[in-house]
Amino acid sequence: MAIKDYEIKVDKSVSRIATEDRIPFELIIGEKYYISYRDNVAEPCILQSIKDLPNSSIKAISVKFHHRKFPSTNSVYSNEIGRSPQEAVQNES
């Protein structure tokens, strides 16, 4: 699959880490983060909302992809995004 102009290719030496080894970080609504869905490719997103989950340190979040031809919003977990493209690849679900 071709890389789109808004996607960032991350070096293949960066790899996914186990869910239990991911380190939580502060989330700020309106801030830019990155998410990776495939093959060491990350894309920017803006954090829209945060929802606490019962009995969990993980949060349900909503992110917006405003740079896409057709902007969209996706729901993911807080441990699936990163503050950098590299961290996004490490946190890939």
> Residue 4: its pLDDT value, please?
84
Helices (H) and strands (E) in the chain, counts: 1, 6
With cut-offs at 50, 70 and 90, classify the pLDDT of residue 2.
Answer: confident
Would you say 10 and 89 are in contact if contact means Cβ atoms under 8 Å apart?
A: yes
pLDDT tens, 16-70? 999 999 999 999 999 999 999 989 999 999 999 999 999 998 999 999 998 888 8
1 or 84: whose pLDDT is higher? 84
- Kindly list the distances between the CA atom of residue 61 and the CA atoms of 14, 49, 82, in Å, as whole numbers in the listed order: 24, 5, 13
6 or 90: whose pLDDT is higher? 90
